[in-house]
Amino acid sequence: MATLVTMPKLGLTMNSGSVSEWKKKEGDAVGKGEILFVAATDKLTFDVEAPEEGVLLATLVALNEDVKVGAPLAVIGEEGEDYMSLLGEVESQKPQETRQENSSSFDVHAEQEKKSETKGFIKASPLAKKTAKDFGVDISLVEGTGPEGRIVKKDVIAFVQSVSVSSKVKASPVAERMAADLGVNLIDIEKQGRIMKEDVIFASQGKTAASTPARYVFPAEDRRIPLTNMRKVIGERMLLSTTTIPTVTYNMEVDFSALISLRKNIKEAALKQDVKISYNHILMKICAQVLTEYPMANASLDDQEIILHGNVNIGLAVAVEGGLVVPNVKAVQAKSLLQIASETDDMVARTRENQLELEEMQGGTFTISNLGMFGMHSFTPIVNPPEACILAVNAIVDRPMVIDGEIQVRPISMLCLTADHRLVDGADAAKFLVRVKELIENPYLLLL
C-alpha cells in the first residue's frame, strides 16, 4: 500500500517548512530510514528519512515551496502502484483554493468552455506547475503525456504554443505600457525571448536594439524577490511581540574601563586554553548572575501563570545571510567564563554554517543583542517571546566624564533593556540595569 510522506513537525513552534533538496528522484528505489529529502525551516535544515521501503512514486511540491506541517510531500509505494485515490482523499479534505487571474495570463476562456472542470488532485510535476504559474496557465486545462497522464513541462509549453499568436508575445509590464504610449505593435518586434522597454524604444525609432543607443532615459524597473521562510517567521514573531507584549525600554550609560582592563588581564591565560574571551562572554556571565538575583527578568508568562525558569539560558543574536538567528547557551549561571566562551563561539560558528541542533534554538530565557561593532550608540531591541527581557549592547566610545570634580576620558557604552511590563515593573527593570552596571564597572564583585 502506498505511503504518504508529509512535512514533519520538529519543535513546538514549527508551523511550516519547505523541501530544499530531494535526495531521491521519482522512480528511484528508497530504503526505510534512507535520507529522502532535506527539509528547511526559517532557522534550520535537517535530513528527513523515508518512513517505508519502496519506490518514490511522486514528489508533490516544488523545491523551496512553503508548506504547512502535515502537508503531503511525496508518495512511496510499489512500482506501478495506483496512488491517486490516496491523494484524492487528502485533497478532498482541503478547502478549494481561490485562483487569482494574472493580468498577463493567456486568454483561455475558449479552452475552458471545451473542457469540464477538473476536480481533485492534478497529477503534474513540480516543474510543470511552476512553468504553468509563470505563464499564467490553468494547469487543469493541460493534457499530460507523461506516465499515467502526468503533466510535465513540455505539455505546458505545448499548451502555451497552441494559444493565439498575440498571446505568444512576451513582454515586461513596462514594455507593454511603453508600447501602448508610443503606438508600437509588440508583434512587429523581432526578438528572441522577452521584449523589454529598450526594444520598444528602438522599435519606435525604426531601429533595432543592436543599433545606435537611443537618447532616452529608461525608467528603472522594480524587482520582486521571494519572501524566504526565515523572513516570514521573523516577521511573524516580531509582529507577535510588538502587538501582544507591552514593553518599555530603559537606557543607561556604563563605564567599561574596568571590564576592558579585566579582559586584557585574562586574555593571555584564556588563549593558553584555546579560548578567546570577548565582551559578549563577560556580559553573558554578568547577566546570568543578575538574572538569578531578579528572577522575574528570567520568567515567562503562560496563560494565567508565571514560569520562573530554573536555568538561565541566554540567547545571542547572530546575523546570518537573509536574516537573524538567536541560539542560546543553556544554564549559563552554572558555567565558568571559559565554558561560556567556548560554547558560545562553537554555537555561533555552527549557526553561520547552518549546523545548529533544534534544541539550541529552543528554551531561551533572556537575549543579548550586540550591535556595537557597527558603531550603534542606541537602539530599541524587540523582546523575543516568550522571554521577558532583551538587552541591547552598543558601541564603546571614549567620552569626557566628570570624575571626582575632574574631566576624564572614559570608554562609555549605552545599555538598553527592553522588558515585558506584565512581568517586570519599571522599578525592577531599573534595579536590574543598575546591578548590571555595577558588575561591569566592578567585575571583581563576581567573586563574592
Rounded CA separation 416/286 (Å): 15
The b/e string for 244-257 (b: 16+ C-beta within 10 A; e otherwise) is ebebebbeeebbbb
Query: Is 425 a catalytic site residue?
Result: yes
> Which helix (H) or strand (E) covers residue 277, if one does?
none
Residue with the three cell numbers 510499489: 78
Q: What separation in angstroms does the CA of 280 have from each of 283, 314, 324, 327?
A: 5, 11, 17, 14
Residue with the three cell numbers 525600554: 249
Rounded CA separation 25/423 (Å): 52
DSSP string, 297-340: GGEEEETTEEEE-SS--EEE-EEETTEEE--EES-GGGS-HHHH
The distance of Cα 82 from the centroid of its chain, to the nearest Å, equals: 37
Among 345, 420, 421, 428, the one annotated catalytic: 421
SS3 at position 169: coil
Cell numbers linked to 448: 563574592
Beta-carbon neighbour count of residue 353 at 10 Å? 9
- For 84, half-sphere exposure in the C-beta direction (CA atoms, 13 angstrom radius) is 12
Among 82, 138, 425, 428, the one annotated catalytic: 425
List residues with catalytic annotation: 421, 425
